[in-house]
Structure 1
Amino acid sequence: MRKNFGAQTWMYPMPVLIVGTYDENGVPDAMNAAWGGIYETNQIMLCLSESHKTTQNIRKKGAFTVSFATAKTVVPSDYVGIASGNKVPDKLEKAGFHTEKSAFVDAPLIQELPMALECKLVKFNEDGIVIGEIVNVSAAESILDADGNIDAEKLDPIVFDSVQHVYRKLGDVAGTAFSDGKQLQ
């Protein structure tokens, strides 16, 4: 038997995305955006309200970064989601985040977040969806495995549980993609 909840914004897993931008004066800003994901092979989409400083910055600069919040950065990652850049101009400093300029787009990388997608704006849809082209993925060496690839366990990303309103850690490996299902062929 199932219980019906009606239309809800519940999806598992929902990555906790930290969107980094610069304003017209080159001041870095970041926000926590739970509603986003891969749009095309080399594109990402974010659902951002027009009122966000981040949205205005993307419109002005045509670029942004998307970093993945981690278990170690829960507090500052949550803070940049609850503090508005329109009201708290130094929220990155208050969060304890430090930035450096991306070599690929006119947007900041947050040093405490070890993996980022560096994106240039493709377009804004009429319904507030931001579509960006991923021009580079950068990762701190601390989260790489012996072969030089990103190790999800070392990254330790968190996901947003929109039902319980908590952040959760990802779990163990459950199977091998594009392989396990072959046993049914």
Structure 2
Amino acid sequence: MQFTQAELKGVWLIEPTPVIDDRGSFTRVFCEKEMADFGLATRFVQHSRSHSVRKGTLRGLHFQEEPHTEVKLVSCACGAIFDVVVDLRPNSPTRNRWLGFELTPENMKQVYIPAGFAHGFQTLTEDAEVSYLISQFYTPHAATGVRFNDPAFSINWPLMPTAMSERDRTWPLVRKLVS
């Protein structure tokens, strides 16, 4: 597996390296030792999947508040997505900066998202499935989000949203969370 530190401290792009022969391929997508060697979380208490039927579906930007903050390891199991992370850490020099990654089953890339980041994605194909390893249990009273189109972030989503939950459409702007 190849680990690349992203521009936002704590975010990692992880690229499995398949072994290919005449039978097909074998790929390790998680290794506790390799993750620990980079100082990354290795304990994940939930494995969740989402399925979006429409191209352009937007989910997020989600996070859990203290003390229930979570680390996520995200990959795309079917279709293609534009995966976005936003730094919400209060004392971070990159607060409110975002990064986007295209994830597909073919490129096998995974995004490691540390605590303190909001996360969301937009589907680039129909029938996209996203897989999440999550370090904390879902805690409804701690689950929250920020608006996908918040001008404080200026995220360049690749498509106009075609489907989105009302909750995701109406999350507060980040400045309202701070005040």
Query: Normalized against structure 2, the TM-score is what?
Result: 0.24
Bigger relative contact order, structure 1 or 2 (CA pairs below 8 A, ≥6 apart):
2
Query: Normalized against structure 1, the TM-score is what?
Result: 0.23
Q: Larger radius of gyration, structure 1 or 2?
A: 1
Structure having the higher helix fraction is 1
Structure having the higher strand fraction is 2
